[in-house]
Homo-oligomer: A and B are copies of this chain.
Amino acid sequence: MNVYAVLMAGGVGTRFWPRSRRKTPKQVLNIVDDSTMIQATYARLSGLAPDENILIVTNPEQKEIIAEQLPRLGDQNFILEPFGRNTAPCIGLAALHIAREDPDAVMVVLPADHVVAKVKEYQTVLKLAIEYAAEHEALVTLGITPNEPATGYGYIQAGEVATRKGKYRVHKVKTFAEKPNLETALRFLDSGDFYWNSGMFIWRASTILKEIEEKLPDVFEKLELVKAAVGTPKYEAVLEKSYRALKSISIDIGVMQRASHVYVIPADIGWNDVGSWETVYEISDKDKHRNAGQFQQLINIDSKKCYVYSPDKVVALVGVEDLVVVDTGDALLICRRSHAQQVKDAVEVLVKKGQERYL
């Protein structure tokens, strides 16, 4: 079985400002670990796909730092998008390149900025997904077993069991559900057949290209133009022109929600999409005062439940709790943990003021 891994690494991650910037987005930061998130994603693929089959889809601005962080990969491992158009064009472009080598190859599509705590389980589930996708020409996705009524994720409702292997099951997908309100999320959790949409997909290159041709003919048409230009001096210009003509569309909305042969494998893999500084706090190791973070030295006077990032300074917390403090060379964020989603509003202010150097 020829297996490719496609790491989608084009996001900007404004919610991790001031650490995340346009040139150093979330996936290249060591937010939860000594490794950066893309390094961890790459490391988890060990044994699943050989280096030459690992493709990083990113943009020219981020390529250099990713290449530095993944020294075993080279130019041939990168697919550059001129700019982001959401996941459908990104995945279509990767599928196009893979299909030129081997249309029957299975591609594992992965976000490069998620955490997976249970790596062995993750690999086992992915192997099952690869087998199933290859054998049945299926669109397979991983559904994360929910442990709380999260309102920040989309959900997948599992239908009848298509096959079992040991303790694992492959289900036909019944429906995709958008991010629910709390009441609905509680109902989903109670029902036992809803899973978090992880954004991880497994299918043959030929399978997804056929789906795109059928369901997103505009996208397919542009991809065909790009395909014809591969290996020619016109490639970049054709790619840019094609992308410019495309609308942003996700693979979920464009393909998954409208396709048959869509399957979900329930996966209990310690997954987290690390959506904000609050999530980083939650998954970090804490001291006895429930403080966490990455810092040179923390002086704690009557303070608790704070997250502190400050690599170079001594930081003193006096009588505070539930704060996120992120100190970088040129910017300082002080945020109530419960307001971590609003960090992107601060970035929005900088965008409106045109203060490029902080973006």
Interface centre among A313, A338, A345 (most CB of B within 10 A): A313
Do residues A334 and B315 form an inter-chain contact, with CB atoms below 8 A? yes
A310's partner among B299, B332, B335, B340 (CB-CB below 8 A) is B332
Docked CA distance A333–B338 (Å): 21
Enumerate chain A interface residues (CB-CB to B < 8 A): 17-18, 299, 301-302, 310, 312-320, 323, 325, 327, 330-336, 338-340, 342-343, 345-346, 349-350, 355, 358
Do residues B299 and A339 form an inter-chain contact, with CB atoms below 8 A? no
A342's partner among B318, B335, B343 (CB-CB below 8 A) is B318
Do residues A336 and B318 form an inter-chain contact, with CB atoms below 8 A? yes
Docked CA distance A320–B302 (Å): 18
Docked CA distance A332–B315 (Å): 5
Do residues B310 and A339 form an inter-chain contact, with CB atoms below 8 A? no
Contacts A350-B299, A350-B314 hold; do A319 and B339 have CB atoms under 8 A apart?
A: yes
Do residues B336 and A315 form an inter-chain contact, with CB atoms below 8 A? no
Do residues A358 and B319 form an inter-chain contact, with CB atoms below 8 A? no
- Residues of chain B with a CB closer than 8 A to A330's CB: 312-314
How close is A295's CB to chain B, nearest CB, in angstroms? Answer: 9
A sample of 15 inter-chain contacts (CB < 8 A) reads: A17-B316, A18-B314, A299-B350, A313-B330, A313-B331, A314-B330, A314-B331, A314-B350, A316-B346, A317-B334, A318-B343, A320-B334, A325-B332, A327-B327, A327-B332
Docked CA distance A333–B323 (Å): 13
Do residues A301 and B334 form an inter-chain contact, with CB atoms below 8 A? no
A316's partner among B299, B319, B332 (CB-CB below 8 A) is B332
- Residues of chain B with a CB closer than 8 A to A320's CB: 323, 334-336, 339
- Residues of chain B with a CB closer than 8 A to A346's CB: 299, 301, 316, 318
How close is A188's CB to chain B, nearest CB, in angstroms? Answer: 28
How close is A300's CB to chain B, nearest CB, in angstroms? Answer: 9
Docked CA distance A51–B346 (Å): 50
How close is A21's CB to chain B, nearest CB, in angstroms? Answer: 12
Contacts A316-B346, A345-B318, A346-B318 hold; do A302 and B339 have CB atoms under 8 A apart?
A: yes
How close is A329's CB to chain B, nearest CB, in angstroms? Answer: 8
Do residues A342 and B299 form an inter-chain contact, with CB atoms below 8 A? no
A314's partner among B312, B332, B343 (CB-CB below 8 A) is B332
- Residues of chain B with a CB closer than 8 A to A336's CB: 318-320
